Amino acid sequence: MQHNIFTTMRSLKFPEGCKGTQVYAINPTGGEGGGGGCGGKVGEKFLQHLQDLRANSIRTKSSRNSHPPTNQTTRTNVSVESLLPAGSPTVDLMEPHIEPCLKSVDFVESLAAVYKKVEDSSQFEKSERFLEQCAVFKGLCDPKLFRNSLRGARQHAVDVHSKVVLASWLRFERREDELIGLSAMDCCGRNLECPRACLVPGYDPESVNDPCVCSRGELEGGVLMGNGGECSTSDIDEAAGGGGGDDDDCDMSFCIGDDEIRGVRYNVASLSRPFRSMLYGEFKESRREKINFSQNGISAEGMRAAMIFSRTKRLGSFELKIVLELLSLANRFCCEELKSACDAHLASLVCDMEEAMMLIEYGLEEGAYLLVAACLQVILRELPFSMHNPYVMKLFCGSEGRERLASVGHASFLLYYFLSQIAMEEEMKSNNTVMLLERLGECATEDWQKQLAYHQLGVVMLERTEYKDAQKWFEEAVEAGHIYSSVGVARAKYNRGHKYSAYKMMNSLISDHTPVGWMYQERSLYCTGKEKLMDLNTATELDPTLSFPYKCRAVLLVQENKLESAISELNKIIGFKVSPDCLELRAWISIVLEDYEGALRDVRALLTLDPNYMMFYGKKHGDQLVELLRPLVQQYSQADCWMQLYDRWSSVDDIGSLAVVHQMLANDPRKSLLWFRQSLLLLRLNCQKAAMRSLRLARNYSTSDHEKLVYEGWILYDTGHREEALSKAEQSISIQRSFEAFFLKAYALADSSLDPESSKYVIQLLEEALRCPSDGLRKGQALNNLGSVYVDCEKFDLAADCYMSALEIKHTRAHQGLARVYHLKNQRKAAYDEMTKLIEKARNNASAYEKRSEYCDRDMAKSDLSTATQLDPLRTYPYRYRAAVLMDDHKEAEAIRELARVIAFKPDLQLLHLRAAFYDSMGDTSCTLRDCEAALCLDPNHTGTIELYKRARERGNEPEK
């Protein structure tokens, strides 16, 4: 099986294939679990309950030998109330959140439909269709899909307003506001996000990735200067004290107070139809040489500037107040050319919040589209901080503000979609969030827009416990066609005391549609006993990624005093999907078991995912619990922590590694290397939002420019800016040769199919990296990656040497690369044995089981793949393998069902392509087309799917015989 080199070029990514597979954390040792918060009251009954649990449970002890601590702290008495302030968690208080996004009962159909909309839309509609695609992708775990669609929307944007909002949104996705030393108006060097390029109207999708005018140090077309070029010395002289031209040419004058401003009647008349009528029409002014203009709200200086513009059609170096006067005059006398010039000139002056706040009112009053766009751009690029500005929120949140923005063409669904998403992230229950969502609903015109706005209003109202309003908005969303909002209707009814009505509603949903996991999860809330457990199990069977069923079963097991089983239940989901709520529940159970070390590990890990996490239903901050647990466990020095990190890293214990890094950062919070290390772990656990936060902190705490450039490069690479990332790596190397700079450059260059020459260059870069100082953890990864490149070049002996060297410094994952080398040398048994070693060493071994299946017979392969699916149901290769085997055995229907089972909760490109090919071989053209369209929605450039789609369309267009 051949794979692109980029799949293994970074320690934090292990895609499927021969060179490396995604590794997730699972902690099989006892005392580990996770889950939701805690609820209930602490009293005598609960204290007795804890004593009973302790008496009936066997405390789990770690079998792993740890390094002797430098310091030991004797255990202090900590009360149960302080460790568990909310008492025992109950199922009733563990309600799963309703997702605030569009969610379909048939996601594949939704993907196919939005793909066809994009393809069938005109150039002026494409941007809106890509925005709809963004809304569809928002509910997926992969933020790259959302960002790609957002880039597509920006690429095809036509008007300035859309360009400004979309470019600001793309910038926000990188959270550049958190990067110290960067201004909101700093440019990334491409037209895609350039603040100047965004103020240029027009449709040019091919230019968005070109270097922008900022990077070239010039301005184009005079659009932003407002005058088409620089002003001459004579213009400046005339502005200072002259008139509208040579006195010999002047044939009229305007009198303002004691000042007389000379000008050319024809030039002034050319400014607008009203001036033409006044100077050449039936008005008395047409017969006068001197016209009194004192009552028209313009100063003598302003009128002189107007005279100059009437002759030159350009704005000189006028003061700001003069340009504002000209703008007002242009509006009063309908001087479109003058207004456009003033608008563009003023827009070019807006560079920061102070200027934006000062000028936006003028823009709104005078209807200056570009000026308001420029001010809006600064405000949006300052988000989320600008949301704390009362004037900004008054403008955005109120109906009157929306109307004022609409009057100048700057109120749109796109704008309020962006603002409301940030508001929901900042503070879900705030009044500002509600008002922004209300404005979003007012701007909604299409069905999908109404579904989204009304559903999100329902979610927010439910969070605010305003159940009647929540029900109303959810019902509006259902009426607009969003079936998932029925969940919100049922939840609101249940909270209003209509439990049976909620149960009936979910029953109806299950019977009327093809059931999916979230339907059974929701119905489980409204029943008890065996029926509840059956619904929870069905939900997990249909969608094993839902965390609530695991948490609920764990709590039910706790209530039966089966604490070990409760932790095992939580380990199932934490093994492939790490979330703060599951770690929290596992920590709680560990506290009951008096496994304080396990509890502290999980609390530290969850704080890495969410530093502001409030545990036990908001009763205690995670940091407070850490301080309470620390005296109950062994204390380690920073050197001891490094040794622990090596051990956990080599045993593929990512949760344990996260906890150690968190402890090290508590001792040395400004250590950029540790923040970077944390980001690698988080990306490997697929926690991309938290990983990017750690990467930004690594950049902010960097003490050298070359190191800062490397981290900026990783940020750019991970948000889809490969060329910019390469540039950062090269800049870093030019300052100082370092391991990370060479590693970044090698990885970014390898993010494509490499020819032999390119492969040689990547090898050179990795060899340069290995010559630079670094620690064993990173050098092990570099050796592993170098081995992968050698394998691609068919230099198997060199590859084996790299993998052996990596294993010598405890880079356990190198077993997988070495196994591949043995396999390519036809040493199948040695490859199998090598993967067995990885399975034995790694705590997380789903990928190892999957890979080992390639080196054994069919029956053993099926067993390994079954184990891999149990450990990590998100891994797609086992489903594809089983489906292919079924197709080979001519069991087409079973093969389709095998793929449908995983596509229902993971609409993966490869899975959709394979199922489309199966349908194609069966002659089912409509299903082939649907799956191809869904796959192309995920990746419109996937060659195999494009070819299959073309064939299916041609066959579908053939006339029936």
Q: Determine, yes or no, domain membership for 718.
A: no
Rounded to whole angstroms, the Cα distance separating 444 from 450 reads 5
Q: Determine, yes or no, domain membership for 504.
A: no
Looking at the structure, do residues 341 and 260 belong to the same domain, yes or no?
Answer: yes
State the pLDDT at residue 247. Answer: 58
State the pLDDT at residue 216. Answer: 57
On the CB side of 384, how many CA atoms lie within 13 Å of its CA?
Answer: 14
State the pLDDT at residue 929. Answer: 97
Rounded to whole angstroms, the Cα distance separating 543 from 547 reads 10
**In this structure, what CATH number is given to the domain that contains residue 274?**
3.30.710.10
10-residue mean pLDDT series, the chain (961 residues): 35 33 31 38 39 40 38 53 71 87 94 96 94 94 91 95 96 86 83 91 88 62 38 40 57 81 83 81 69 80 87 85 91 90 93 92 94 96 93 94 95 97 94 97 97 98 96 97 97 93 95 94 94 96 96 93 94 95 94 92 96 86 91 90 91 94 93 94 92 95 95 91 92 96 93 81 95 90 94 94 94 95 95 95 90 93 95 95 94 96 94 96 95 96 95 79 46
Q: In the listed set 349, 381, 410, which residue is the last one of a domain according to the structure?
A: 349
Structural domain span for residue 281: 252-349
Give 631's strand partners: none
Q: 307: which residues sit within 8 A by CB, 6+ positions away?
A: 243, 244, 245, 254, 261, 262, 263, 267, 268
Q: Determine, yes or no, domain membership for 335.
A: yes
Q: Determine, yes or no, domain membership for 923.
A: yes
Cα first-last separation, the chain: 41
Looking at the structure, do residues 885 and 907 belong to the same domain, yes or no?
Answer: yes
- Indicate the number of domains in the chain: 4
Q: Determine, yes or no, domain membership for 954.
A: yes
State the pLDDT at residue 287. Answer: 64
State the pLDDT at residue 81. Answer: 67
152, 208 Cβ separation under 8 angstroms: no
Looking at the structure, do residues 602 and 643 belong to the same domain, yes or no?
Answer: no
Looking at the structure, do residues 613 and 661 belong to the same domain, yes or no?
Answer: no
Q: Determine, yes or no, domain membership for 629.
A: yes
Q: In the listed set 666, 698, 730, which residue is the last one of a domain according to the structure?
A: 698
Looking at the structure, do residues 256 and 329 belong to the same domain, yes or no?
Answer: yes
555, 35 Cβ separation under 8 angstroms: yes
Looking at the structure, do residues 283 and 302 belong to the same domain, yes or no?
Answer: yes
- DSSP, residue by residue, 765-789: HHHHHHHS---HHHHHHHHHHHHHH
Looking at the structure, do residues 651 and 665 belong to the same domain, yes or no?
Answer: yes
State the pLDDT at residue 16. Answer: 34
**In this structure, what CATH number is given to the domain that contains residue 568?**
1.25.40.10
Q: In the listed set 349, 367, 393, which residue is the last one of a domain according to the structure?
A: 349
Q: Determine, yes or no, domain membership for 340.
A: yes
Looking at the structure, do residues 578 and 662 belong to the same domain, yes or no?
Answer: no
Q: Determine, yes or no, domain membership for 641.
A: yes
pTM of the model: 0.86
Burial class (CB in 10 A: 0-12, 13-18, 19+), 396: buried
Looking at the structure, do residues 583 and 668 belong to the same domain, yes or no?
Answer: no
State the pLDDT at residue 276. Answer: 78
State the pLDDT at residue 303. Answer: 86
Looking at the structure, do residues 630 and 641 belong to the same domain, yes or no?
Answer: no
Its sign, for the CA torsion 105, 894, 541, 603, is: negative
